[in-house]
Amino acid sequence: MRLENRIAVVTGAASGIGAQAAVRLAGEGAKLFLMDVNRAGLEETRARIAAAGGEAESCACDVSDESAVDAAVQRALARFGRIDVLVNVAGVQVTKLLVDTTKAEYDKMMDINLGGTFLLMRKILPLMKAQGSGAIVNCASELAFVGYHELAVYTATKGAMVSLTRSAALEAIPYGVRVNCVCPGATDTPIFWEGETDPEKKRAMLAQVKVEKPIGRLITTDEVANGIIFLASDEASGVVGTCLVIDGGFTAQ
């Protein structure tokens, strides 16, 4: 097991990439502290981990709320005593033209996607520095590197996450702490489908993926989790400030 007895905090753990990453990290021996605003989804992830013999605690938390983040981290420390891995996955997407995006929608994406990542890192990085070890993995996007119609603000948050990761990595590595990020392409998660249930519209969305993506399909949450596990483990001991793009060739075009 690559992460045996390590303590991992995962945000956005109620569904999608965050949930699968948490389950897979537990499978590698880590003990999990799960964070999300979705209590029911958190409990489902916790139950999946427990059913496989793992250990996890769930904590409902809005990562854009500084006091809530502080309280959650203190709770994680009270339960486990230390934090070895931080995986920032929590994020939201509003698909609109820039001129149609409201200030409230801009604030929401910035405060959760970028702000939540910042708040968790600001709280946990000093703990990792003090213990002389740790790994932080931020979940950005292929859209950190390219523009995309109707996603101007979302792509801005992801580009900023990449920059935050690179600069924080330089700050952290003298203390034995590695900071990296994964940049998934279109992945089979709730954020991709955006609540769409109409079969015809879903088929049209998948047809567009086949046109745009050289791999011809959606990325799976397991494929992203593979990257997260690698970056969190000692196998990536020399990997610092990198962006692991898992996009089926989209940004290679």
User: By the 8 A CB rule, do 177 and 134 touch?
Assistant: yes
Q: Which residues of 99-112 are buried (b: 16+ CB within 10 A; e: fewer)?
A: eebeeeebebbbbb
Tell me how crowded residue 188 is: count the other CB atoms within 10 A of its CB: 18
Active site residue 154: yes
H or E element, residue 182: strand 177-184
Question: Can you give the three-state secondary structure of the chain, one letter per residue?
Answer: CCCCCCEEEEECCCCHHHHHHHHHHHHCCCEEEEEECCHHHHHHHHHHHHHCCCCEEEEECCCCCHHHHHHHHHHHHHHHCCCCEEEECCCCCCCCCHHHCCHHHHHHHHHHHHHHHHHHHHHHHHHHHHHCCEEEEEECCHHHCCCCCCCHHHHHHHHHHHHHHHHHHHHHHHHCEEEEEEEECCECCHHHHCCCCCHHHHHHHHHHHHHHCCCCCCECHHHHHHHHHHHHCHHHCCCCCCEEEECCCHHHC
15/20 Cα distance (integer angstroms): 7
- Among candidate residues 106, 148, 154, 175, the one labeled active-site is 154
Q: Which residues are catalytic?
A: 154
